[in-house]
Amino acid sequence: MNEYSGEDLEVVFPERRYEAIAKIMETAVRVRKERKWTFTDILDHVFLHRVLGIPIFLALLYAVFQFTFAISAPFSDMIDLSFGWLGSLAGANISNPMLASFVADGVCAGLGSVLVFIPPIFILFFALAILEDSGYLARAAFVMDRAMYKLGLHGRSFIPLITGFGCNIPAIMATRSIENENDRIITILVNPLMSCSARLPVYVLLAGVIFSTSYVAGAAVFSMYVLGIALAVMSALVFRKTLFRGKPAPFVLELPRYAVPGLKSVTLHMWERGKWFLIKAGTFIFAVVIVAWALSTFPWAATAGGELIENSYIAMFGHVIEPLFRPFGWNWQSAVALFFGFLAKEAVVGTFGALLGAEGEGVNIALANAHWFTPLSGFAYMVFVLIYFPCVATIGVMLKELRPRWVLFAAMYTLILAFVVASLVMAIGHLAGLA
313 domain residue, yes or no: yes
Backbone angles phi, psi at 58, to 5 degrees: -65, -40
Other CB atoms within 10 Å distance of the CB of residue 371 = 9
Is residue 116 a contact partner of residue 129, using CB atoms and an 8 Å limit?
no
25 domain residue, yes or no: no
Highest mean pLDDT among 11-15, 121-125, 258-262, 282-286: 258-262
CA distances from 349 to 171, 278, 295 (A): 24, 15, 16
The confidence band for 358, taking pLDDT boundaries of 50, 70 and 90, is: low
Return all residues near 283 (Cβ < 8 A) that are at least 6 apart.
Answer: none
Does 48 score more than 60 pLDDT? yes
368 domain residue, yes or no: yes
Query: For the chain, how many structural domains are there in total?
Result: 1
Q: At what angle do helices 136-150 and 39-47 cross, to 10 degrees?
A: 30
Residue 209 and residue 33: Cα distance in Å, rounded? 63
Question: Which structural domain range is residue 66 located in?
Answer: 53-245+267-431
**CA count, 13 A, side-chain hemisphere, 63:** 10
High-pLDDT (> 70) share of the chain, %: 82
381 domain residue, yes or no: yes
Is residue 359 a contact partner of residue 195, using CB atoms and an 8 Å limit?
no
195 domain residue, yes or no: yes
192-201 residue pLDDT tens: 998 887 788 8
10 domain residue, yes or no: no
Look at the pTM and tell me if it is higher than 0.75: no
The confidence band for 330, taking pLDDT boundaries of 50, 70 and 90, is: very high
259 domain residue, yes or no: no
The confidence band for 1, taking pLDDT boundaries of 50, 70 and 90, is: very low
261-301 residue pLDDT tens: 888 888 888 887 777 767 766 677 777 778 877 887 778 76
375 or 109: which carries more pLDDT confidence?
375
346 domain residue, yes or no: yes
Backbone angles phi, psi at 273, to 5 degrees: -85, -35
